[in-house]
């Protein structure tokens, strides 16, 4: 068991190194200085949901925790009035 | 004063007359209770992200209301009893908009790159320049 743990740790990449191709350092929300995330802005919200309709984790999108909370709320509102899907396929 | 956004989706087979009637009803309700409609956004016919009942598309309308709350209760009740409204959503926006305005003002005030975001931008620019040199 102890050996397995060390193995896992070794496989982890060093901090700060890019591990996946999808990672973005700065999200559109920060870059365009969007203060109010509007649930009607379908184009913006769409860039934060995955192919299957799920909300992307912020480790992949690079938004801050505060932005993610607002984003989640906006996406859920948009889903409620059929601007975004709950699921796809 | 609070600001609200009321969104509703009408069934795609709704007659224009019915829709404008509902709009004037909402106008009347809000005015009667001392509220104010600041803007009405008509998106028209739009494809729904998922099926609602037997409909694949709907007619979207967004009404921006300034008021105290009672008019919203009545508008919502009206939307619920109206048959051709297939979905509606009310959002209170004043607090979030105020917060956004504050953030914007703060950013304008701080021109020097004291906050972390600006430092990030600078880093990125430097990187781009380096790339060009190579």
pLDDT digits (tens, 9 = 90+) for A25-53: 678 877 777 888 999 999 999 999 999 99
ipTM for the predicted complex comes to 0.74
d(C-alpha A54, C-alpha B7), whole Å: 23
State the DSSP string of chain A. -HHHHHHHHHHSPPTT----TT--SS-HHHHTT--S--TT-HHHHHTTB-TTSPBPPHHHH---HHHHHHHHHHHHHHHHTTSS-S---
State both tokens at B51.
């099926």
Task: Determine whether the interchain pair A36/B96 forms a contact, defined as Cβ–Cβ distance below 8 Å.
Answer: yes
State both tokens at B107.
């950013």
* Residues in A touching B89 (Cβ below 8 Å): 77, 80-81
Residue (of B46, B83, B42, B44) closest to B63 by Cα position: B42
More confident residue, A26 or A84: A84
- Beta bridge partners, A53, equal none
Give the chain A residue whose CA is nearest to the CA of B117.
A30
Task: Determine whether the interchain pair B89/A81 forms a contact, defined as Cβ–Cβ distance below 8 Å.
Answer: yes
Distance from CA of B31 to the nearest CA of A (A): 26
Residue B126: pLDDT band (50, 70, 90) is very low
For residue B117, give the nearest of A30, A40, A70 by CB distance: A30
Domains of chain A: 33-89 (4.10.640.10)
Task: Determine whether the interchain pair A86/B50 forms a contact, defined as Cβ–Cβ distance below 8 Å.
Answer: yes
d(C-alpha B26, C-alpha B29), whole Å: 5
Burial B111-133 (b: 16+ CB within 10 A, else e): eeeeeebeeeeeeeeeeeeeeee
d(C-alpha A25, C-alpha A41), whole Å: 22
Distance from CA of B101 to the nearest CA of A (A): 8
Q: Enumerate long-range contacts of A15-24, CB under 8 Å, 24 or more apart.
A: A20/A60, A22/A60, A23/A59, A23/A60, A23/A62, A24/A60, A24/A61, A24/A62
Distance from CA of A87 to the nearest CA of B (A): 9
Lowest-pLDDT choice from A59-63, A75-79, B4-8:
A59-63
Residue B28: pLDDT band (50, 70, 90) is very high
Predicted pLDDT of residue B113 = 53
Indicate if the pLDDT at residue A84 is higher than 80: yes
Mean pLDDT value across residues B90-116:
81
Indicate if the pLDDT at residue A2 is higher than 70: no
Indicate if the pLDDT at residue B118 is higher than 90: no
Task: Determine whether the interchain pair B87/A79 forms a contact, defined as Cβ–Cβ distance below 8 Å.
Answer: no
**What average pLDDT is seen over chain A?**
79
Mean pLDDT value across residues B38-62:
94
Mutate to test the interface with B, among A62, A74, A82 (most CBs of B within 10 A): A82
Mutate to test the interface with A, among B91, B104, B119, B124 (most CBs of A within 10 A): B91
Distance from CA of B28 to the nearest CA of A (A): 24
Task: Determine whether the interchain pair A85/B49 forms a contact, defined as Cβ–Cβ distance below 8 Å.
Answer: yes
Lowest-pLDDT choice from A5-14, B5-14, B78-87:
A5-14
Predicted pLDDT of residue A35 = 86
Would you call B58 exposed, middle or buried from its count of C-beta atoms within 10 A (0-12, 13-18, 19+)?
Answer: buried
């Amino acid at each position: 068991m102890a050996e397995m743990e060390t193995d896992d740790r070794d496989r982890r990449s060093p901090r700060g190194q890019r591990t996946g191709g999808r990672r973005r350092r700065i999200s559109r929300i920060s870059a365009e200085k969007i203060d109010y995330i509007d649930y009607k802005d379908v184009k913006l919200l769409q860039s934060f949901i995955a192919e299957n309709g799920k909300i992307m984790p912020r480790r992949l999108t690079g938004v801050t925790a505060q932005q993610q909370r607002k984003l989640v709320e906006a996406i859920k509102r948009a889903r409620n009035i059929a601007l975004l899907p709950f699921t796809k396929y | 004063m609070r600001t609200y956004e009321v969104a509703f989706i009408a069934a795609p087979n709704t007659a224009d007359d019915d829709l404008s009637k509902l709009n004037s009803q909402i106008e009347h309700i809000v005015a009667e209770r001392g509220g104010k409609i600041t803007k009405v956004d008509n998106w028209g016919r739009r494809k729904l992200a998922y099926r609602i009942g037997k409909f694949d598309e709907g007619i979207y309308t967004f009404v921006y209301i300034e008021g105290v709350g009672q008019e919203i209760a009545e508008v919502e009740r009206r939307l619920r009893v109206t048959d051709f409204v297939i979905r509606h959503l009310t959002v209170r926006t004043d607090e979030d908009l105020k917060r956004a305005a504050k953030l914007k003002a703060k950013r304008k005030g701080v021109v020097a790159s004291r906050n972390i975001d600006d430092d990030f931008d600078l880093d990125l620019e430097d990187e781009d320049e380096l790339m060009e040199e190579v």
